[in-house]
Amino acid sequence: MDRADARDAGDVLVVGAGIVGVAIAERLRREGARVTLVDARPEVAGATSHANGGQLSFASAGTWSGAELASFFLRGLLRGQERSWRVSPGVVPGALLWACRPRPRADERLRALVRLSAQEFARFLAEDPGLHPLVEGYGVWALRVHGGGGGGAAGLPAPVRLERGEAVFHAGDAYGDCRRFAHALADRFRAGGGRLLLGVSVRALDVEPSGVRLETTGGVLRAGRAVVASGLGARGLLGPLGVRLPLFPVQGYSLTYPCPGPTPRFALLDEERKVVLTRLGDGLRVAGLLDFGCRDERPRPWMLHRLEAVARRWLPDLVAGSTPVDPWACVRAMAPGGVPYLGSVARGRVVCAVGHGHLGWTLAAGSARIVSDLLGERPPLLPLSDYAPPGSPRGARL
């Protein structure tokens, strides 16, 4: 690990080495900037990018609008013990306020960013064919249960048992292990001269006339500009600069079933329960659920049991007799409407890239392009005002 005692952190210092921060740092490095990437955790992708569902939802991505969440919530009430969400009474007012916060044209804004992300993800692969094997498959089956007779679809992978419902194939989606991809990008970042500081927490961020000053657990760092890609942690860093980000924590859970070699590759999405089932590496990742307001990263057994129930529903033969491993919980930093904040604040010295919620793996490459264009003072590919953090000058350029 590099040491955090040097004071000059280069042209840009990126806070947060999750998939979003790593993609930004590597994109900036490829464009010739001197970049330092800092994370409080001891490894890259140690937080929400660690064991997520692995789906690149370039075709199937949708917003989690207040209305959608409300209907999901109500359906869960009817389902009782089987419901896919949890909310503790103390957070209900905050959750309601957040869910009702308007974000006009959220769907359109999200789709534009998803399209850009698909292009930019392909660009990462085209620039570096060694990344190709990390995309483990293409196409996601969205499964919908209904009360009628068997629907189904020819072409469903053999382990999926679809007795009541239908399946829609999203050919434009892909899947791969987000953590492994982040590690691969970080390796390239370091090999190309980028500086990676792990186990270094940023305590405070100040804007000075000539750049930014960061107080960290490893000493003071100075850089020309800072990018804050630290998920929920961004609120504490940007609050003192007058930026109040309305991010809401929604914890999710995952577990992984070991799979024998010949198990086919496939990816499923149970839209109604907000759970994905993805063949990754030598396992089956089952991930999702919504724990509103929770951020303690504790893999609660009864939430994990709900994931197991979804796995048994769709893949009874595959998971029968198999014990899941690697229980995991982590918090999604949700922005209103599910559209992340990407834009400059604090007199243009700081760029914010947070609020990727349930889609950070999908949106990382496009977010990196927006941030790099912003810092490089190139014309934006998407209207910056559509992603501007609250309180920032609309569409502000550096």
Ligand X SMILES: Cc1cc2nc3c(=O)[nH]c(=O)nc-3n(C[C@H](O)[C@H](O)[C@H](O)COP(=O)(O)OP(=O)(O)OC[C@H]3O[C@@H](n4cnc5c(N)ncnc54)[C@H](O)[C@@H]3O)c2cc1C
Task: Find all residues with CB under 8 Å of 257, minimum gap 6, and list them.
Answer: 283, 284, 286, 311, 318, 319, 322, 323, 324, 325
CB nearer to ligand X: pick between 201 and 385? 201
* Angle at alpha carbon of residue 324, lines to 297 and 279, rounded to 5°: 95
Neighbours of 22 (CB within 10 A): 30
15 binds ligand X (CB under 6 A): yes
Token pair for 53 = 């569902």
Near ligand X by CB under 6 A: residue from 35, 37, 202, 346: 202
49 binds ligand X (CB under 6 A): yes
CB nearer to ligand X: pick between 165 and 360? 360
Shortest distance (Å) from residue 220 CB to ligand X: 14
Helices (H), 135-286: 178-191, 234-238
Shortest distance (Å) from residue 16 CB to ligand X: 3
177 binds ligand X (CB under 6 A): no
Q: Considering only 18-26, 83-91, 138-146, 255-263, which stretch makes contact with ligand X by CB under 6 A? A: 18-26
Shortest distance (Å) from residue 105 CB to ligand X: 21
CB nearer to ligand X: pick between 319 and 371? 371
Longest CA–CA separation in the chain, Å: 68
Shortest distance (Å) from residue 304 CB to ligand X: 11
283 binds ligand X (CB under 6 A): no
The closest alpha carbon to 120, from 175, 58, 49, belongs to 58
SS3 assignment for 114-160: HHHHHHHHHHHHHHCHHHHHHCCEEEEEEEECCCCCECCCCCCCCCC
Q: Determine the size of the site formed for ligand X (CB under 6 A).
A: 43
* Angle at alpha carbon of residue 361, lines to 295 and 38, rounded to 5°: 70
Near ligand X by CB under 6 A: residue from 36, 48, 63, 84: 48
Per-residue x/- mask for ligand X, residues 71 to 100, rule CB under 6 A?
------------------------------
332 binds ligand X (CB under 6 A): yes
Per-residue x/- mask for ligand X, residues 257 to 276, rule CB under 6 A?
-------------------x
Q: Considering only 50-58, 103-111, 132-140, 381-389, which stretch makes contact with ligand X by CB under 6 A? A: 50-58
CB nearer to ligand X: pick between 109 and 332? 332
365 binds ligand X (CB under 6 A): no
362 binds ligand X (CB under 6 A): yes
111 binds ligand X (CB under 6 A): no
Q: Where are the beta strands (DSSP E) in the chain?
A: 12-15, 35-39, 55-56, 85-87, 137-144, 166-175, 195-198, 202-208, 211-216, 219-223, 225-228, 248-258, 267-270, 275-280, 283-292, 325-334, 341-345, 350-354
Per CB under 6 A, contacts with ligand X among 219-238 are: 229-231, 233, 237
211 binds ligand X (CB under 6 A): no
Shortest distance (Å) from residue 395 CB to ligand X: 22
Neighbours of 153 (CB within 10 A): 14
Counting beta carbons within 10 angstroms of the beta carbon of residue 146, is it exposed (0 to 12), middle (13 to 18) or buried (19 or more)? Answer: exposed
Near ligand X by CB under 6 A: residue from 13, 37, 40, 69: 40
Contact 212, 27 (CB under 8 A): no
Radius of gyration of the chain from its Cα atoms, rounded to whole angstroms: 21
End-to-end, the C-alpha distance of the chain in Å comes to 32
Q: Considering only 34-42, 185-193, 307-315, 344-352, which stretch makes contact with ligand X by CB under 6 A? A: 34-42
Q: Residue 342, SS3?
A: strand
Q: What residues line the site for ligand X (CB under 6 A)?
A: 15-21, 38-41, 45-49, 52-55, 57, 201-202, 229-231, 233, 237, 252-254, 276, 287-288, 330, 332, 356-362
